[in-house]
Every structure is written in C-alpha cells, then in structure tokens.
Amino acid sequence: MDQSALSERLGGVNPPPLDASFLTEDPRRRQDRSQLKLLAIFHFVLGAFMLLSIGFLFAHYFIMQTVFRNPEMMKTQGNVPFSPNDVLRIMMVFYVIGGVFCILGSALNVVSGLLLLRRKYRVFSIVIAALDCLMIPLGTALGVFTIVVLSRESVAEAYREAESKGG
C-alpha cells in the first residue's frame, strides 16, 4: 500500500512516511543495539546504587559514634591501650575512603553508560566492567555481561562505525 492510499483510508490524515529499514536491518545489529542500551541503563542503576551507599556509610558512622561515645562503654573498657575515640577516628578514615570510592565508582559507571549509548571508547567501558566485577553480586553480574557483549566482533564493528561517523 502506498502513502496516498494509506492517507485515503485514514480519512485524509497524512501519516508519517513509511520506513521499512528496520525490516531489512541485520537482526544481530538490532540485538547488539538493544543489549548496549540495556547495559547502559544498568550502568546508570549501579551508579545510583553506589551513590545511595553513601547514605549507608553516614548511617553506620552515626550508629558507631553513638555506641563509642556512650559513657557506659568508657566504664567497662578496662585497661586497653586505646580509647573508643581512637577507634572512631580510625573508622572515620575508612568511611572517607569508602565514600570516595563510591562517588568515583558512581561517576565512572555513569560515564561508561553514556559511552555505551554513544558507542565510543569501548576499552574504557571494558575496564569499568572489570572494576565492577569487584562489587559482588550486582557489579559482578553487570561487569561479566558487559565484557561478554563488548567482546563480540559485531559490537566492536558497530563501535568502529560509530567512531568513524561521529569523528
């Protein structure tokens, strides 16, 4: 059915031009594109989870501060070579390091998600996926799937095409 016949059947309404390019597209390319979109979304979600984990660090710090600053703990402490305040200061260092890692990991996952959508810098996304594998269990699953998808030759070819078009 041509465009004018379709317009007559719809009562004079002109529909957008018919585009059948999606029918002739290679199914593997369509699958690659949809998997890259899903991976990008999951990288965004993991980045959001990492930002939310900073809230957990704050909550944990305030609970520990309440416990270690309790005057009853000072009485039952006995003869130890360190005070609860020393322990709290040492823990504070770990909280700061953990917070920095969460912020950095979140930012890197968001950047990787954006690059997956644009099909640019494939090696960067593979490196971030390898680092994600250290975050058991969600990061590991995302990292493995990202590495598997980005290692396919058809995906590497799509990246080469996108980089040659986009400059």
Answer whether 0.85 is exceeded by the pTM. Answer: no
CB 136 within 8 A of CB 152: no
Tell me whether residue 25 is in a domain: no
| Largest CA-CA distance found in the chain, in angstroms, rounded | 94
By residue range, what is the domain housing residue 96?
A: 30-73+82-166
Alpha-carbon distance values, 29 to 25, 42, 149, 154 (Å): 7, 20, 12, 7
Candidates 157, 120, 154; CA nearest to 28 is 154
Per-residue pLDDT tens over the stretch 25-41: 678 889 999 999 999 99
Please classify residue 51 by burial: count the beta carbons closer than 10 Å to its beta carbon, then call 0-12 exposed, 13-18 middle and 19+ buried.
middle
Tell me whether residue 94 is in a domain: yes
Per-residue pLDDT tens over the stretch 51-93: 999 999 999 999 988 887 776 766 666 666 777 778 888 999 9
Tell me whether residue 17 is in a domain: no
Q: How many CA atoms lie within 13 A of 137 on its CB side?
A: 0
When divided into structural domains, the chain yields a total of: 1
Tell me whether residue 4 is in a domain: no
Tell me whether residue 3 is in a domain: no
